[in-house]
Amino acid sequence: MTLPKGHGQKASATGKRNFDSWWATVPEDLRQKTRKGDEGNKPLLNQVNYVLLHLHLAGKHDAKPSHEELKDWLHSGQVDVLRMKAAAAK
């Protein structure tokens, strides 16, 4: 299996913000609404998209991450695209 380009790279080595440093810049009320009850898991892409939509609608375009940062978060595993539960062993 071929891994995506950039898989396993550290965000600091590439000069981009990591997910946690960007997440700290998101308004507190939006963070709580987005991740309420799911704080113990890795963030999902759908949750990031929800925040991006609200930032866009509020006109806070400078608060949104770059395309390269989003791609880095996905390829490095900082954000999950899909969450699947482990199959029960028989």
Q: What is the pLDDT of residue 16?
A: 85
Are 69 and 17 contacting, i.e. CB atoms less than 8 angstroms apart? Answer: yes
State residue 31 phi and psi, 5-degree precision. Answer: -60, -45
pLDDT in tens, 15-66: 689 999 999 999 999 999 999 999 899 999 999 999 999 999 999 999 999 9
30: tokens are 């939006």
Domains in the chain: boundaries: 14-75
> Whole-prediction pTM value?
0.73
Handedness of CA 51, 26, 39, 87 (dihedral sign): positive
3-state secondary structure of 46: helix
Residue 79 has pLDDT above 90, yes or no: yes
- Please say if the pLDDT value at position 89 is more than 70: no
pLDDT tens-digit profile of 2-15? 554 444 545 445 56
